[in-house]
Each structure stands twice: as structure tokens, then as C-alpha cells.
């Protein structure tokens, strides 16, 4: 059947009405967690600053010149981790309507096509989840800015927590601020280093996308406890992969990813190899993520009232 926007809108309205408590609770938890992390980060920075002020008679520095209370990157890492966890959980909740037998009966008999229902479920958990996370981050940023303004004034400015999160998410930002010499090769603005940053950023994004797709697909297999079971399965696979990697390194004299800062040509070749490796893995991850989503849709179209995995 063809996609009908009116039928799609009616199904979306029905889902938001029936599951408003579910979506409201998710949004509230996200907001509360984001604000809590921002407040905790502020308290830590405030305590560090006040301890420096109290020790001022024994120091040779001016505490008013210290901008440590504007250091948002540690807080930003935790906010970014929160966003990743919440989006992963949401990816594993797209088929929450099918958790119960009655829910499956209702879902499968609603006047909308499988395509329309699947698209709505995908949009509400992924796109809607991103919007909720962004709005929660902006609110947390507002609380952080307000407290910074009240306690420290505007003499040294107020750093945006939201901007720090996006900077950290770029990979290049986190390496610039936490690693003085990026991987020991070249200037931080050189084409070689930028190529590595861009490739690794793509790899990190692709890895996160395939993680979401795995949890998404797992929900099409198991409607209950799928998030916990998927996490356990991924941890087991990760452990096996780590063991195999250590076994591999034990029999290899020199890893192809090691960069020698003394030999410029060798470093460039090795960085290019690393970029090719990460770029290939990232591309494969994107393709697999698309396949997992497509497979999830196929399983959704064949959903039954009862099955061996879902009774």
C-alpha cells in the first residue's frame, strides 16, 4: 500500500496519546540527568576554585585570573555519554508497543500500513530522542550559565556547555584538549593530522550508528528485556574480540598502527594505513546498520501475536 500522510499522522497521534506517559517519563529522566550532571560539574569546579582562593596567601597566582571554573570539557564528556546511553536505550524501545500480547493485537490491527507504523516508530525514538537530548542539554547549559554568572560574574566569560559537547564529539576537540601532542606526529593543523581526525571522527560516528542499529534490530527479535540481553551479548563479543586482538599482538613484532614521530615518511604511510583501516570499518558499519534497519522492518511486517521469543 502507498504511504498516506493523513493515515500516518493519525497513527502518530494515537501513539503519542496512548504512550504519552512512556514518552513523558523518558523526556523527564533525560532532562533530570542532563541537569544533574551539569550541576555536579559546577559544584566540583566551584569547590576547586574556592579551595584555590582560600589557599591564596600561600600561592603566587591571582585566583581571579584562573579560568578553571570555565573548564567544561569533563562535564561535556559525561553529558555526551548520557546522550549516547539514552539514544541506545531508545533504539531498543521502538517496538515497546509489542511487549504484551494485547499490545501486539492492537498494533497489528490499527488502520495503518506496516511501512507507516515502522517509519513513525523509527522517527519517534531516533529523531525524537535526539531532539529531547538536545533540549535537555540546552536547559542544563542554561542552569550552568546562570550559576556561573551568579558565583563568578562575567569577567572571564561563560563557556557554553552545549558547544563543549559538540567540540568533544568531534574527536579532534577531545584530542586537542586532553593530548598535548596528538599521537606524537606532525603539527595539529597539518593535513596529515586533519586527515586522521576526520577519518577517526567518521569511524566513531559509524560505530555509534551501528551500535544503535544493533539494539534496534534486537528489539525486533525480543520485545522484553532486549536491551539487557543485547548489552550482555555485546560485552561477550567485545571480550572475545579483545582476547583475539591480544593474541594477534603477541605474534606480531610491530603493529601497523604504531606511528614513529622520528621517521616522517614512515609516519605518513602508517597514518594513511590507519585512515584506510578506520575508513573501511566505518563504511562497512554504515552498510551493516542499514541492513539491520531493513531487517528490523522485515521482521516487523511478519510480527505475530505469539512466537517462540515473544509470548
User: What pLDDT digit, counting tens, does each position of 278-291 carry?
Assistant: 889 999 999 999 99
- pLDDT tens figures, 181-202: 444 444 555 677 777 788 888 8
One domain, residues 245 and 144 = no
Q: Is 146 inside a domain boundary?
A: yes
> Phi first, then psi: what are they for 48, rounded to 5°?
-65, -45
Do 53 and 165 fall within a single domain?
Answer: yes
**Based on the domain organization, do 285 and 144 belong to the same domain?**
no
Which residues does 39 contact at the CB level (< 8 Å), separation at least 6?
143, 144, 147
User: Are both 149 and 268 inside the same structural domain?
Assistant: no
| Residue 27: band (very low, low, confident or very high) from pLDDT cuts 50, 70, 90 | very high
Note whether 221 and 294 are same-domain residues. yes
Residue percentage of the chain with pLDDT more than 90: 39
Least confident segment among 134-138, 172-176, 221-225: 172-176
Domain range for 201: 185-311
| Residue 202 within any structural domain of the chain | yes
Q: Which of 142, 169, 196 is the last residue of a domain?
A: 169
Number of domains in the chain: 2
With 90 as the cut, is the pLDDT of residue 32 above it? yes
In this structure, the answer to whether residues 141 and 289 fall within a common structural domain is no
- Provide the pLDDT for residue 183: 46
Look at residue 237 and tell me if it is in a domain.
yes
pLDDT at 185: 45
215 domain-assigned: yes
Whether residues 163 and 236 share a domain: the answer is no
How many Cα atoms sit within 13 Å of 216 on the Cβ side? 27
Which of the four pLDDT bands, split at 50, 70 and 90, describes residue 252? low
102-106, 128-132, 163-167, 307-311: which is most confident: 128-132
Confidence of residue 156 (pLDDT cuts 50, 70, 90): low
Q: Quick one: which of 91, 78, 85 has its CA closest to 35?
A: 78
CA dist 214 to 15, 201, 219, 293, 308, Å? 24, 20, 9, 9, 20
pLDDT of 133 above 90: yes
The torsion of the CA quartet 220, 221, 226, 232, rounded to 10 degrees, works out to: -130
Average pLDDT over residues 230-248: 87
Residues 193 and 162 in one domain: no
Among candidate residues 169, 201, 218, the one where a domain is terminated: 169
**Half-sphere exposure at residue 180, Cβ-oriented, CA atoms within 13 angstroms:** 0
Question: Do 122 and 224 belong to one domain?
Answer: no
Taking 70 as the threshold, does the pLDDT of residue 55 lie above it?
no
How many Å apart are CA 230 and CA 121, to the nearest integer? 19
Q: Is 153 left (phi over 0), alpha (psi -120 to 50) or beta?
A: left
pLDDT of residue 181: 45
Q: How does residue 169 score in pLDDT terms, banded at 50, 70 and 90? A: confident
**Per-residue pLDDT tens digits for 74-95:** 888 899 999 999 999 999 999 8
Do 243 and 108 touch, CB atoms closer than 8 A? no
Residue 37 and residue 156 in one domain: yes
Domain check: are 2 and 95 in the same one?
yes
Q: Which of 105, 140, 169 is the last residue of a domain?
A: 169
pLDDT of residue 107: 85
Model pTM score: 0.83
Amino acid at each position: 500500500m502507498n504511504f498516506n500522510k493523513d493515515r500516518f499522522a493519525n497513527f502518530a497521534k494515537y501513539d503519542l496519546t496512548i504512550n504519552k506517559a512512556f514518552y513523558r517519563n523518558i523526556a523527564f529522566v533525560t532532562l533530570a540527568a542532563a541537569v544533574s550532571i551539569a550541576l555536579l560539574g559546577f559544584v566540583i569546579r566551584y569547590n576547586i576554585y574556592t579551595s584555590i582562593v582560600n589557599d591564596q596567601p600561600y600561592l603566587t597566582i591571582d585566583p581571579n585570573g584562573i579560568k578553571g571554573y570555565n573548564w567544561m570539557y569533563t562535564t561535556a564528556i559525561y553529558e555526551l555519554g548520557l546522550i549516547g546511553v539514552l539514544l541506545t536505550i531508545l533504539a531498543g524501545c521502538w517496538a515497546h508497543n509489542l511487549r504484551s500480547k494485547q499490545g501486539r493485537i492492537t498494533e497489528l490491527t490499527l488502520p495503518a500500513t506496516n511501512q507507516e507504523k515502522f517509519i513513525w516508530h523509527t522517527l519517534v525514538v531516533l529523531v525524537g530522542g535526539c531532539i529531547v537530548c538536545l533540549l535537555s542539554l540546552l536547559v542544563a547549559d542554561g542552569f550552568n550559565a546562570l550559576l556561573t554568572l551568579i558565583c563568578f560574574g562575567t569577567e572571564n566569560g561563560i563557556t557554553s556547555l552545549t558547544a563543549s559537547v559538540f567540540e568533544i564529539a568531534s574527536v579532534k576537540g577531545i584530542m586537542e584538549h586532553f593530548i598535548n601532542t596528538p599521537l606524537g606526529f606532525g603539527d595539529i593543523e597539518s593535513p596529515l593530522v586533519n586527515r586522521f581526525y576526520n577519518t577517526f571522527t567518521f569511524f566513531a560516528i559509524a560505530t555509534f550508528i551501528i551500535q544503535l542499529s544493533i539494539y534496534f534490530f534486537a528489539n525486533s527479535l525480543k520485545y522484553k528485556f532486549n536491551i539487557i540481553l543485547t548489552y550482555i551479548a555485546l560485552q561477550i563479543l567485545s571480550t572475545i574480540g579483545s582476547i583475539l586482538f591480544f593474541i594477534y599482538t603477541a605474534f606480531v613484532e610491530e603493529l601497523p598502527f604504531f606511528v614513529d614521530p622520528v621517521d616522517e615518511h614512515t609516519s605518513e604511510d602508517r597514518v594513511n594505513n590507519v585512515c584506510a583501516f578506520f575508513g573501511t570499518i566505518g563504511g562497512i558499519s554504515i552498510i551493516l546498520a542499514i541492513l539491520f534497519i531493513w531487517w528490523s522492518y522485515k521482521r516487523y511486517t511478519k510480527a505475530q501475536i505469539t512466537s517462540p521469543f515473544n509470548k
